[in-house]
Amino acid sequence: MASNNEETVEYVYIPDEGIYGTIIRYGAWSSLIEYYEGGIGYTIEVPNDEYIVVDEIGVGYLEETEEGVSYPEEDGDYL
């Protein structure tokens, strides 16, 4: 699970449409998926059993201080 210092992006494939996209909001029965085709962005609602998660990427955020570069903790202290 992603912390406040990390964002997780899940890439999905929708076989019926033949497209790849990213999940922008999960739901109990369906999720909102964003994809681009021909330079135009689309957001569609897809039932959870109609897409496949193909990759998950975590992106961490760093802060630079006098002590160096580190991941900030939730309370503002540094590792």
Per-residue confidence at 59, pLDDT binned at 50, 70, 90? low
Domain ranges of the chain: 6-70
Four-way CATH pick for 6-70: 3.40.50, 1.10.3470, 2.30.30, 1.20.58? 2.30.30
- Under the banding of pLDDT at 50, 70 and 90, the label for residue 9 is confident
pTM of the model: 0.60
Are 19 and 34 a contacting pair, CB within 8 Å? Answer: no
**pLDDT band at 54; cut points 50, 70, 90:** confident
Q: For residue 75, is pLDDT > 60? A: no
pLDDT mean across residues, the chain: 77
Contact by Cβ (8 Å): 14, 23: no
Arithmetic mean of pLDDT, 17-36: 92
